[in-house]
Structure formats: structure tokens, C-alpha cells
């Protein structure tokens, strides 16, 4: 156990990766605290991904309470990784933790993690309310962030259409209108590609028409 714990803190990312793999291969509840602690500061994506996997290998009854505490952390990466791990665990008992504050977090990465977790964890019957909350983020951020939101909205299905139509036709912000139109296009035609869809949507908005658009 001591060797594995030291491995998670090693200066070599390949050593940390192997240590996380070892912990996930032979789960031990005594590692959970360290895995979560390391997730909050680990700089390498592949190591963070392995830490998440290792956490999913442990009992949900033990990991979830710790992760639910982390989503309220002052540290950006701690919030983001806790949300990501909750989405991978997929237990909708974590749903109450997906608050409006997290869905609109000032940090784009935290918000994106919250969006992904939300569409996985949302209970049956609550998708319309989630769609309303997510629609308030339309137009936010750069292309990568907007694509994340579009994917989250599309995962909810046709329930998002009223919000998209309203945003496309009534919002004063051209970025919001374009993002709504692009998301609608991707919902109808998943193969269109976001770059093409957002470019087409911006042209439509620039021309001053958002109604009666066909795919």
C-alpha cells in the first residue's frame, strides 16, 4: 500500500499512471481518499483518467460521499474531476449535487463537466427542467465549450427544441442565436459537424432570419 501511495505522487507521470492502474486493479477502500486528493492536482490528462477509472472500481457507497464533498471545493480541478468521476459512476443518487451553480460555474471546464454529468444522472421526468437550465448557457465560451453544451443538450433529445427555438428567435445576443441554431441543426443532422453547423448558423443570424430554417 505504501509503495502504491508513493507511486501516485512520483515525479514521473508514467509511474503515477502505473500506480493508479495498480490501485484500480486491486481496489482497497484505504486508497479512495488519496485517489480523490490526487485527482484534484494531477496535471496529466491520462493519469487523471486512470485515477477516475480506479475510483469507479471501488464501492459507490464509499466513493460517492467523498466525491459529493469535492464538487463544492474551492479548487477548480477538484470540482471538475469529481463531476467527471460521478458521471462515470453513473449513479443518479448524485443528481441533487448537480446544482444550477455548477451548471453555470465561472470556469468553463467545471461547467462542461457539470453538463456531461447532468445528462448522465438526470432522473426520468426531469430532463425538461435540465434543458431549461442548460439553455441559459447558450453562446458561452469558445467553440470547444459550445460544442460540449450542444452535445449535452442533444443527449436530452427532442425536449430541447422549445428552448432552442425560443433562443434562436428571441434572444438579443447573436452568439446565443447562432449557438441555438447550430445545436438544432446537429440534433436533426448529427453528421453535419459543429464547425459547419455553427458557421451556417452565424450566416443565418447575420442575414437576420432564424425562422423557417430547413436542414
| Confidence (pLDDT) at 190 | 77
pLDDT tops 60 at residue 124:
yes
Smallest CA-to-CA distance from 212 within 176, 168, 156 is with: 168
Ordered alpha helix ranges (H), 71-156: 76-89, 100-103, 108-121, 127-135, 143-155
Q: How high does pLDDT run on average in the chain?
A: 90
Interval 54-81: pLDDT, tens: 999 999 999 999 999 999 999 999 999 9
| Residue 55: all three cell numbers together | 475510483
* Mean of pLDDT values over 26-52: 95
Our separate counts of H helices and E strands in the chain read: 13, 0
Cα distance between residue 91 and residue 206, in whole Å: 43
| Confidence (pLDDT) at 213 | 47
pLDDT tops 90 at residue 104:
yes
Cα distance between residue 13 and residue 4, in whole Å: 14
* Mean of pLDDT values over 4-16: 90
| Confidence (pLDDT) at 197 | 64
pLDDT tops 60 at residue 125:
yes
| Confidence (pLDDT) at 214 | 43
Cα distance between residue 68 and residue 56, in whole Å: 14
Residue ranges of the domains in the chain?
128-215
DSSP for 153-183?
A: HHHTGGGGHHHHHHHHHH-S-HHHHHHHHHH
| Residue 89: all three cell numbers together | 459512476
| Confidence (pLDDT) at 212 | 44
Q: What is the largest CA-CA distance in the chain?
A: 64
Amino acid at each position: 500500500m505504501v509503495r502504491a501511495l508513493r507511486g501516485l505522487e512520483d515525479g514521473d507521470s508514467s509511474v503515477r499512471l502505473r500506480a493508479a492502474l495498480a490501485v484500480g486493479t486491486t481496489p482497497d477502500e484505504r486508497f479512495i481518499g488519496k485517489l480523490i486528493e490526487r485527482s484534484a492536482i494531477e496535471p496529466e490528462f491520462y493519469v487523471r483518467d486512470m485515477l477516475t477509472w480506479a475510483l469507479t472500481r471501488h464501492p459507490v457507497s464509499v466513493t460517492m460521499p467523498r466525491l459529493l464533498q469535492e464538487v463544492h471545493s474551492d479548487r477548480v480541478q477538484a470540482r471538475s474531476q469529481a463531476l467527471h468521476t460521478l458521471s462515470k459512476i453513473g449513479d443518479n443518487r448524485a443528481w441533487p449535487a448537480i446544482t444550477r451553480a455548477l451548471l453555470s460555474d465561472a470556469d468553463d471546464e467545471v461547467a462542461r463537466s457539470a453538463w456531461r454529468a447532468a445528462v448522465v444522472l438526470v432522473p426520468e421526468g426531469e430532463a425538461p427542467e435540465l434543458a431549461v437550465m442548460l439553455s441559459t448557457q447558450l453562446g458561452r465560451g469558445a467553440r470547444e465549450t459550445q460544442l460540449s453544451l450542444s452535445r449535452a443538450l442533444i443527449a436530452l433529445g427532442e425536449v430541447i427544441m422549445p428552448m432552442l427555438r425560443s433562443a434562436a428567435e428571441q434572444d438579443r445576443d447573436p452568439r446565443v442565436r447562432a449557438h441555438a441554431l447550430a445545436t438544432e441543426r446537429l440534433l436533426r443532422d448529427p453528421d453535419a459537424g459543429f464547425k459547419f453547423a455553427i458557421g451556417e448558423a452565424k450566416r443565418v443570424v447575420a442575414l437576420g432570419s432564424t425562422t423557417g430554417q430547413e436542414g
